[in-house]
Amino acid sequence: MLKNYFKLFRIPQWIKNLFVFVPLLFSKHFFDHDYFVLALLGFIIFCFTSSLVYVINDIIDVEADKAHPIKKFRPLPSGKISRRKAAISATILFVIVLFSAVNFDARFYSSVGIYFVLNLFYSFKLKHIVLLDIFSIAAGFMIRVLAGAYIINVEISSWLLLTTMFISLFLAIMKRQSELKNSANFENAASRKVLSHYSLDFTNQMATVAASAVIICYALYTVSSRTVTIFGTENLIYTTPFVVFGIFRYMYLVYVNQQGENTTEIMITDLPMILNFLFYILATTLIVYKIL
């Protein structure tokens, strides 16, 4: 049963909530105990909130998921967990989030609320509307970053926010691209109605635009006058190759290896992606905190 609830709550998907730590890393407070604890609590609250959203989404999509070649093995469509038990789990998660988030900055509390409401709209309506579906996903990542800044009460660079928006758009587009390929390979695989409004050519073009925007925005962030003034160095630009490699590696995995429908699986199983991420964090930490 625990394994089934582990899948229902999408524990591996919690990796997406690491975006809450972005403001902490670039605020020069990463090694400050009080700031780190606050960011960690924010991360945990978003983990419970995202699990709440996944449970609600699974309850709504249970019939459609039964027709999907992969999603049909999830706890709800497979019958391993009943709708009643899933609803009880969602209620418990809601109560935990409600009473946990209220203890922090009002802006953080509002961010959690907006994130939850946005995802409710996404589950019921927005995921069926072309373009708004991927922009809703991107908004969720931006809210995580803003919430991470609010909970530790620091400012966040506009360039960093734009980078977050474009990288989340890129990931959402690549996910749709993979789903389109799968829907062509399996009958009834297209459980998302919105896929009928997309095409491989369209998603390829959008992915190119989003990938380019990620690289450009991040590069501009590293050399902006505000960044150089705050960190007292121009060396942050040397972390750009890690970002470029990450984008290209992800595109390779989607276009060549036919992966991409499960973003989290790629992030936690592809060794080059893992090493690239770790080296990026190491390089950024060394430069921002002037350890070298």
DSSP secondary structure string for all residues of 225-254? HHHHHHHT-SGGGGGHHHHHHHHHHHHHHH
| pLDDT given at position 43 | 97
For residues 63 and 76, what is the distance between their CA atoms, to the nearest angstrom?
9
Query: Mind listing the pLDDT tens digit for each residue in 43-75?
Result: 999 999 999 999 999 999 888 888 877 788 889
pLDDT tens track for 92-145: 999 999 999 888 989 999 999 999 999 999 988 998 999 999 999 999 999 999
Q: Tell me the Cα Rg of the chain.
A: 19
Please state the pTM of the whole predicted model. Answer: 0.91
Which of 203, 209, 199, 130 lies closest to 166, judged by CA? 209
Confidence label for 188 from pLDDT (cuts 50, 70 and 90): very low
What count of Cα atoms within 13 Å lies in the side-chain half-sphere of residue 206? 22
Distances (CA, A) of 241 to 72, 237, 244, 275, 278: 39, 8, 5, 13, 13
- Look over the chain and give the mean of its residue pLDDT values, rounded to a whole number: 91
- In whole angstroms, give the CA distance from residue 77 to residue 54: 13
